[in-house]
Amino acid sequence: MTQRLIELLLFVVLTSVWGLVHASAGWAVAGALAGSVLWSMLDGLRARRFLKWLNTADTSQSPRFSGLWAELFARSRKVIKNQESKTQDSNARLENFLAAIQSSPNGVILLDAEGRIEWVNLTAAHQLGFDPQKDVGQYIQNLVRSPVFKNYFLGSDFNTEIQIGGIGARPSVPSKISVQIHPYGQKRKLMLTRDVTAVELADTMRRDFVANVSHEIRTPLTVLSGFVETLQNIPVKEADRNLYLGMMSQQAQRMQMLVSDLLTLSRLEGSPAPGQGDWISSEDLLSPALEETRALSSVIAQPPHEITPVSELAFSISGNKSELHSAMSNLLSNAVRYTPAGGRIRTGWLLRPDGWAEFFVEDSGPGIAAEHLPRLTERFYRVDRSRSRETGGTGLGLAIVKHVAQRHGGQLNVKSIVGQGSTFSIALPPSRIQLINPTPPTLPAFSGSEQDLA
């Protein structure tokens, strides 16, 4: 401030002296006024430069000032730099926060007071079919057309979530998205979305599983309770008593098989995959399975089936012996149960050219239509329910086979021609095979429907 006064006085004195020297005392006063005006104009130019710099707030520029203006420039520059630093920190935190929300497995949408989209993460955009850039500023009601969502959005109760159909949802391929709105700020809304398709499917599977198990157990229990009541209350002949007891034993065995298969599935799903420390000969796996199959065929089929083994002793298999035996027995028993009496069944272990090993069961049964193949490994799914119950199947065999194959790094494959028969095979990877004979026999060419059920 002192420097500015000195500068002003200097301008006034110099112009006054100039007027006094070149004219008179009156000109000295005029010169003083002229000096004051000149100084004011010069100071105004400095103020204009300062305001111009202040408007741009470009701290990289350093205009030259003196006196008070230099002090104002220095202090203003310091304040602006501090604000820029704070703004950069805030922007960095905002970017990190948005990046965290962007990577969230749940969808996040920010809506303004009018219901327009201010920001949406990729998860929500994918779940609801938004364009995360083009749809910003659009009304959420114009993009989510579900009547359930419209009523929910226009209402005032956001304490519960709702479920709407996802993009491309079809009866065969259901998709469910959970939506909940949380008001915040000045009538703004935070909208959270979550894909609950898997949860819904799991819940549906659980309900279906309980219903199927109940249904499977109800039939033999009804038979048992009926015969027990008959034997308790009505005198029967010895021959009839033996007949009833035999049927009761059959139904009890059916329930025992069901419980055993359920326990097997539970054990397979809850235990770690078998390692590669134990090696079993393919013949040691095939022989007991063949004996059980022939025994079953002699009991339920007259004449028995023609069962032909394809013997391959040139390799060993690494895995869990009991699991592999269970899978093989299930495939063989299915072939016996669904192939008419006297039909042909071929089975054995083969080596494929790519190094994989296959246990196959080929039958001359009725075959399976192509539309049934993808669902064969579903629990309790049956192509012919009446036929399965006649032969005592539980509907869990192929589910067990699939689990065993997957636990050993392999897969279950099915080939079938309606009216000509089916071929089920378990393929195991080369890492579980020890090759001995490099020229194994091969399966004949097949031209029917095929399905990989891995």
pLDDT value at 233 more than 50:
yes
98, two tokens: 């948005």
Distance CA 434, CA 354 (A): 13
pLDDT-derived band of residue 191, with 50, 70 and 90 as boundaries?
A: very high
Using alpha carbons, select from 219, 218, 243 the residue that is nearest to residue 230. Answer: 243
Of residues 54 and 448, which shows the higher confidence score? 54
Q: For residue 58, is pLDDT > 70? A: no
Q: Are 348 and 447 in contact (CB under 8 A)?
A: no
Q: What is the CATH number of domain 279-452?
A: 3.30.565.10
What class is the 105-195 domain? alpha beta
Mean pLDDT, all residues of the chain? 79
- Model confidence pLDDT, tens digit, residues 19-53: 555 555 555 566 566 666 666 676 667 667 766 76
pLDDT for 229 equals 87
% of the chain with per-residue pLDDT over 70: 75
What pLDDT, on the 0 to 100 scale, is given for residue 445? Answer: 47
Domain regions of the chain by residue span: 2-98, 105-195, 204-270, 279-452
Q: Which of 422, 437, 421, 375 is nearest to 402 (CA)?
A: 375
**Average pLDDT for 289-307:** 89
Q: Which helix (H) or strand (E) holds 425?
A: strand 421-428
pLDDT 10s digits, 366-394: 988 888 888 888 777 777 655 555 555 66
Decide which of 278 and 139 is more confident.
139
Provide the pLDDT for residue 258.
81
Q: Of the ranges 237-241, 255-259, 434-438, which one carries the lowest mean pLDDT score?
A: 434-438
Which residues face 190 on adjacent strands? Answer: 110, 182
Average pLDDT on 335-343 reads 90
Residue 446: predicted pLDDT = 47
> What's residue 311's pLDDT?
73
> With respect to CATH, is domain 204-270 assigned 1.10.287.130?
yes
> What pLDDT does residue 410 have?
92
Task: Tell me the two tokens of residue 76.
Answer: 């203003």
Predicted pLDDT of residue 429: 92
Whether the Cβ atoms of residue 136 and residue 119 lie closer than 8 Å to each other = yes
Please tell me the predicted confidence (pLDDT) of residue 440: 47
Q: CA dist 387 to 296, 323, 339, 375, 380, Å? A: 16, 26, 11, 17, 13
> What distance in Å separates the CA atoms of residue 121 and residue 105, rounded to the nearest whole number?
10
Q: Is residue 82 very low, low, confident or very high in pLDDT (cuts 50, 70, 90)?
A: confident
Is pLDDT at 207 greater than 50 in this prediction?
Answer: yes
Mean pLDDT value across residues 149-156: 88
Instruction: Point out the least confidently predicted range of 2-16, 48-62, 145-159, 288-302.
Output: 2-16
Q: pTM above 0.75? A: no
**pLDDT tens digits, residue range 83-120?**
777 777 777 787 777 777 787 888 999 999 999 999 99
Residue 187 has pLDDT above 90, yes or no: no
In this prediction, residue 138 has a pLDDT band, given cuts at 50, 70 and 90, of very high
Check whether 66 has a pLDDT greater than 80.
Answer: no
CA–CA–CA angle 122, 118, 146 (5° rounding): 70
**Residue 274 has what pLDDT?**
82
> How far is the C-alpha of 340 from the C-alpha of 329, rounded, in Å?
18
Nearest CA to 404 out of 381, 426, 431, 424 is that of 426
